[in-house]
Amino acid sequence: MLLSQTGEYALRAVLYLAAHAGERPVQVAEIARALDVPQNYLSKTLHQLARAGVLASTRGKSGGFQLAVAPDRLALARILSPFGDIEDRRRCLLGRAVCSDRSACAAHGRWKEVAEQLSSFFRETTVADLQQGAALPV
């Protein structure tokens, strides 16, 4: 699994909010229904994103969540970073505790290339890129 469950929910929720940008704050219950994810779990995820500055939250009856960053300035890596996705998941494929250029496992050289491409994808791809279906960086 490339992303944790939390990372996947975070990414999906941010894309949902981006699709509703400029309208009104969107309540957790609406997002959870639309994405078919557990509301309590999603609420905690969205609050983490708000603490990280990815989302803005508004309290009250007409409150909810909105993007705090413009979609064209919001890299996917920034959405995932509060949950330790991507960089933290760059572990040895063969399970070695220490795997580096100096102490490499049999898969290290090839996996390092793939891991760097994945990391680059998440750093360079923005929410706007996904919204527009733009050609993504390779």
May I ask the CATH architecture of the domain 5-132? Orthogonal Bundle (1.10)
Partners of residue 75 on adjacent β-strands: 126
The ranges assigned to domains in the chain are 5-132
Average pLDDT of the segment spanning 15-30: 91
- Give dist(CA 126, CA 117) in Å, integer: 15
What predicted TM-score, i.e. pTM, was given to this entire model?
0.85
Average pLDDT of the segment spanning 92-118: 86
- Give dist(CA 104, CA 107) in Å, integer: 8
